[in-house]
A and B are shown apart, each in its own frame.
Chain A
Amino acid sequence: DTEVTQTPKHLVMGMTNKKSLKCEQHMGHRAMYWYKQKAKKPPELMFVYSYEKLSINESVPSRFSPECPNSSLLNLHLHALQPEDSALYLCASSQDVVSEQFFGPGTRLTVL
């Protein structure tokens, strides 16, 4: 298996909802990432996990809560989001933090 999978593909949620985004890879990669991408902009790094430990948090608001249950899975828990949080959320993984990153197809999130 040489791909990163993300679920769901699309998500619409209200500002009071709690939802989670999921990411999975079976390439044996030990680094996993969450990015946020607004339209016509490059991806912005949110979080980096290395060996299942959070190593980088790019000053992301606490309404986004990452979780790495094991080396293959990465979750992003969402709570009390704002409409401006609507974006494409990309997950990526790499052998380690200095190796090439492989991206998933993304989750298109809309906050109403």
Chain B
Amino acid sequence: KNQVEQSPQSLIILEGKNCTLQCNYTVSPFSNLRWYKQDTGRGPVSLTIMTFSENTKSNGRYTATLDADTKQSSLHITASQLSDSASYICVVRTLDSNYQLIWGAGTKLIIKP
């Protein structure tokens, strides 16, 4: 069964600190993996997209990694800011006829001053 699992479920860190969010998937066949940021009550916004051959991709203070062999991805946030408080969702797209999106449950990140 295609699944995406994220950890931790929630995380509280102090402003200025770094953090890493994890995503493990059992999706086959794999097409790509995206990390979305979703503010409460708003639509998701794409942070990064990674294909099978990519190991690392950065977007400002966000750096995503992908290990296609172990089917793991991480999102590292550097020098966190209050505006980083949001849910971060890992989404994997299948490479079958439906090109289905498999959504993780998300990690709720809270940045405290």
Please give the residue numbers on chain A whose beta carbons come within 8 Å of chain B beta carbons, in ascending order. 4, 40-43, 45, 56, 88, 90, 92, 97-98, 100-106, 108
Residue of B nearest to A97 (CB): B99
Measured CA separation A43–B106 after assembly (Å): 10
User: Within the complex, what minimum Cβ distance (angstroms) separates A35 from chain B?
Assistant: 9
Known: A42-B89, A100-B46. A108 touches B103 (CB 8 A): no
Q: A42-B106, A100-B34, A103-B45 are in contact. List 12 more A-B contacts (CB 8 A).
A: A40-B105, A40-B106, A42-B89, A43-B103, A56-B98, A98-B31, A100-B49, A103-B43, A103-B44, A104-B43, A106-B41, A106-B42
User: Main SS of chain B's interface residues?
Assistant: strand
Please give the residue numbers on chain B whose beta carbons come within 8 Å of chain A beta carbons, in ascending order. 31, 34, 41-46, 49, 89, 91, 93, 98-99, 101, 103-106, 108
Q: Decide if A92 touches B99 in the complex (CB within 8 Å).
A: no
A100 contacts which chain B residues (CB < 8 A)?
34, 46, 49
Residue of A nearest to B9 (CB): A40
